Amino acid sequence: MSRKKLQVIIGGIIILSGIAGLIVYSFNQSLVYDHSVAEYLADRSLQRTNCRIFGKVKTDSIQRASGGIGVAFEVTDGVRSVPVIFAKEVPDTFKENGDVVVEGRLDGNGVFLAHNLLAKCPSKYEKEGVGEQASPRSTDG
Amino acid sequence: MADFGYTCMVLALICAVWSMLALWLGHQSRSSELIRSGERAAIAVGLLLTFSSLSLIRAFVADDFSILYVAQNSNSTQPTVYKVTALWGGQAGSLLLWVWILSIYALIVTVQNRNRIRALMPGVTGTLMAVVSFFLILLQFVSNPFQPTGRAVVDGSGLNPLLQNPFMASHPPSLYLGYVGVAVPFAFAMAAMLTGRLGNEWIVTMRRWSLFAWFFLGIGILQGGYWAYVELGWGGYWAWDPVENASLMPWLTLTAFIHSVMIQEKKGMLKVWNLILIILTFCLSIFGTFITRSGIISSVHSFTKSTLGPWFAGFWITIILVSMVLLVLRLPQLRTENSIESLLSRESAFLFNNIIFLAICFTVFWGTVYPILSEAFNGTRISVGAPWFNQWIVPLGLSLIFVTGVGPLIAWRRASSQNLRRNFTIPAAASLVVAAAVALYGARHLRAILSFALCAFVLTTIALELHRGARARMKTASETFLGGLLGLVGRNKRRYGGYLVHVGMVMIFVGITGSSAFQQEAVANLKRGGAFEIGPYELRFVDTSSSHDPHKDVLAATLDVYRDGEKVSTLRPEKHFYRDTEQPTTEVAIYGLFQWPPHLGEDLYTILVDANPIEGGYVFKAYLNPLISWIWLGGLVVILGTNVAVLPEFDRQRAAARRPAPQEAPGIAT
């Protein structure tokens, strides 16, 4: 292999590794972690930043906003819950006891203001092999 | 019926294993009889799996709920067409469809080449039979579509209403034709490595197959996007959903492959690279199948969870190990015949093309797989959204458009400044003009301006090529300009079909740019008679109506659309409430492509979000998606271009000149 060719190959590897490294680095900077309700309530530092909580929509907690668009409810893990306000239109899959992930932050009054909401409807079939339907439409802020 | 289908499946597995055995032994002992037997067995596999699949389809149509898979995915009241499409509505049936298609491809390849490239064929058919065997083992032992229900069932559960849509008939089969099609070029690559026939023989023979797979994968992806756009009701067509990404990745590497094999054909370069690419593409295709079907990710697509994971992982690892070992063993025979002499050359442009495609693929891969692995191994759930993907894919995409314009025109080996001036001055000028025009029109996003400018660059290079070629033919062949144009395309369908595909891709980029950078949205809570505005349109809520059918209740709202005070259309977005599921579905109403005359500048996309009859308010959402129809129209142009590129030669002499020269075997090494 000639020296020139070796240079080209090494140069190419360096460039490609550089690009890959940048991609991975920017990825790590953009990651958002999903936290359970319990984790979220336990960790004060999470409560000060933009973050995601997953859980179920608490039964009997859904209230439509008075203007018609938006909803207030509580996200729960069965034991504890966090009140949430989401000021945009909700997807079709959003309902009581369904899985939900909300992204946003806590306001001064302990209410989670969500700018992003993903909902999955509860599994309808008991048989193994036929599973859930998911509707990960997110209305992003 | 179930027994017949199941028996055919079992027999197919036996034949596939025998086929592999016979082909291997036949090749080793140079027994053409054994090889023929192996080939006949491969043909038998195709026929047996056809019987098997047809019997399952028949069971669906005949409402045979004694088969569990039929009971899970069908219902006596389901329309017949969806009973048939239910074949691929769940996991076991999809796997059967996958292996059925593969076995048909194997049949065709074997029959097509029964009197040619005899040294390569045992490896090709053998590899295909190996993949078939893997899937048949899965179907027999892990996920059997003919498994009996085991108890009396009055009626089935029915196919998910979201899937009862005409696209269910075309989107999955198209994708499968593509995914599975990748196996054929892969088999040729394996055969080339196994036999040591590493010249252009395998490249030229499998070229149409790779285009075929690329085509169906591509239009499958576009159909998926279109289906999401008109069905799911969130105003977009691509969510960087893991299953969407899984289909995009093999398409990206396959596109890179289609381009880089041209370099190997003409210059004998990139031999090792092409082998790595096609192996990678096949691995990504299997990976895509696995992601969609293993339940490892919850998304709109994965309707099942199962234990397929370890099996696929094992298969994947086996493929990588075997092919890598072969590649390393063959490295001495894969010497390049030429090398890159200058950065400004066609070889370089094609290499950049490949690098960019791989960078995009890596980005998509990382964003898709990292969260999965993180959850699997750490239990931490992470997500990375569209903004991160776009942050990388947009600049990479822009570079790709640039290379698409440069590549076909720049000279081989080393472009002189004269060559550069002659070919690129006019396109560069055109792109500056377009950039200025777009900026004057009011656009401020730099990336959008760049995108339109680069699209203009590419279109101008293609127009220039066509113009020059046609004029040359006018002089040499005394034809009219139009005649010259047709003659030009006819004499080199591959090249000009390719240009047409590029035009289609540019149109798609224009559509993506318009609808991403300039989208507008509006939400309103209206009572009857109320109105809201978006862009130049005013939408007035007139009334609602309800209707019923055996499956669902429908609530429709009527919106009158006004522009500049004049009524231009009436839209009826709906909500469907299916009786047997609790979840309503949304039917959007779009003012755009499917109007007469078609409205191509933008789509006005309306959704009935929520109905609150108690307070009397109805929530509507509207999107304005500029230029989005160009994506679908671009897709049609890509279809046209691909068809032109694969047309056979009508002129016998030219056809003979294009056939691969018979190659001397470089020693009968295995």
Which residues 389-448 of B have a C-beta within 8 angstroms of A? 391-392
Locate the chain A residue with the closest alpha carbon to B580. Answer: A124
- Which secondary structure element, helix H or strand E, spans residue B115, and what is its range? none
Q: How high is the pLDDT of residue A24?
A: 86
| Residues B535, A37: Cα–Cα separation, whole Å | 41
B147 touches chain A (CB under 8 A): no
| Residues B391-405 pLDDT 10s | 899 999 999 999 999
Q: How high is the pLDDT of residue B633?
A: 95
- Which secondary structure element, helix H or strand E, spans residue A32, and what is its range? strand A32-36
| Residues A7-57 pLDDT 10s | 877 887 888 888 888 888 888 887 888 888 888 888 888 877 888 888 888
Locate the chain A residue with the closest alpha carbon to B613. Answer: A68
Could you write out the DSSP letters of every residue in B354-394?
A: HHHHHHHHHHHHHHHHHHHHHHHHT--EEE--HHHHHHHHH
The residue assigned the tokens 């929509």 is A57
- HEC string of B267-305 equals HCCCHHHHHHHHHHHHHHHHHHHHHHHHCCCCCCCCCCC
Which residues 17-76 of A have a C-beta within 8 angstroms of B? 19-20, 23-24, 26-27, 30-34, 52, 54, 64, 67-69
| Residues B249-298 pLDDT 10s | 999 999 999 999 999 998 888 899 999 999 999 999 998 888 776 655 55
Any idea how long chain A is? 141
Q: How high is the pLDDT of residue B577?
A: 87
Instruction: Please name the amino acid found at residue B580.
Output: D
Q: How high is the pLDDT of residue B413?
A: 86
Chain B residues with beta carbon closer than 8 angstroms to that of A7:
none
| Residues B47-104 pLDDT 10s | 999 999 999 999 999 999 999 999 988 888 888 899 999 898 888 899 999 999 999 9
Each domain of chain B, given as residue ranges in start order, spans 1-159, 165-397, 416-518+631-656, 520-626
The residue assigned the tokens 């004049």 is B566
| Residues A135, B301: Cα–Cα separation, whole Å | 9
- Please state at what angle helix B183-195 crosses helix B121-141, rounded to 10 degrees: 130
Interface touch A139/B234, C-beta < 8 Å = yes
Chain A residues with beta carbon closer than 8 angstroms to that of B581:
124
Contacts of A138 (CB under 8 A, 6+ apart): A116, A117, A118, B385
Q: Which of B305, B366, B383 sits opposite A131 (nearest CB)?
A: B305
- Which secondary structure element, helix H or strand E, spans residue A66, and what is its range? none
What share of chain B has pLDDT > 90, as a percent? 56
Q: How high is the pLDDT of residue B295?
A: 57
**For residue B660, is pLDDT > 90?**
no
**For residue A138, is pLDDT > 50?**
no
Enter the pTM of the model: 0.89
Q: Give B1's pLDDT tier (boundaries 50, 70, 90).
A: low
Q: Give B308's pLDDT tier (boundaries 50, 70, 90).
A: confident
- CB distance B41 to B16 below 8 Å: yes
Asked if the peptide bond before residue B597 counts as cis, ω within 30 degrees of 0, the response is: yes
| Residues B229-241 pLDDT 10s | 988 888 889 988 8
The token duo for B87 is 């074949």
Q: How high is the pLDDT of residue B614?
A: 60
Interface touch B381/A34, C-beta < 8 Å = yes
- Please state at what angle helix B242-267 crosses helix B201-227, rounded to 10 degrees: 150
Contacts of A28 (CB under 8 A, 6+ apart): none
- Which secondary structure element, helix H or strand E, spans residue B590, and what is its range? strand B589-591
Task: Tell me the mean pLDDT in the region B97-124.
Answer: 93
A9 touches chain B (CB under 8 A): no
Interface touch B392/A90, C-beta < 8 Å = no
CA atoms in the 13 A half-sphere facing the CB of B21: 7
Q: How high is the pLDDT of residue B229?
A: 92
**For residue A114, is pLDDT > 70?**
yes
Chain B residues with beta carbon closer than 8 angstroms to that of A23:
359, 362-363, 366, 392
Instruction: Please name the amino acid found at residue B413.
Output: R
Chain B residues with beta carbon closer than 8 angstroms to that of A8:
340
- The count of other CB atoms within 10 Å of the CB of residue B376 is 10
Q: How high is the pLDDT of residue B77?
A: 83
The token duo for A131 is 């599973």
**For residue A130, is pLDDT > 80?**
no
Any idea how long chain B is? 670
Task: Tell me the mean pLDDT in the region B144-161.
Answer: 84
The residue assigned the tokens 């894969």 is B334
Strand order in the sheet with B617-626: B520-526, B617-626, B602-612, B589-591
Q: How high is the pLDDT of residue A92?
A: 77
Locate the chain B residue with the closest alpha carbon to A54. Answer: B381
DSSP-derived 3-state class of residue A127: coil
Interface touch B612/A68, C-beta < 8 Å = yes
What share of chain A has pLDDT > 90, as a percent? 6
Q: How high is the pLDDT of residue B669?
A: 39
Which residues 246-265 of B have a C-beta within 8 angstroms of A? none
Interface touch A140/B239, C-beta < 8 Å = no
Q: Give B187's pLDDT tier (boundaries 50, 70, 90).
A: very high
- CB distance B391 to B246 below 8 Å: no
Helices (H), B198-270: 201-227, 242-267
**For residue B440, is pLDDT > 80?**
yes
Q: How high is the pLDDT of residue A38?
A: 87
Q: Max alpha carbon distance in chain A (Å)?
A: 75
The dotted CATH code for B1-159 is 1.20.120
Average pLDDT score, chain B: 88
| Residues B445, B390: Cα–Cα separation, whole Å | 14
Burial (CB < 10 A; 0-12, 13-18, 19+), residue B420, is middle
B300 touches chain A (CB under 8 A): yes
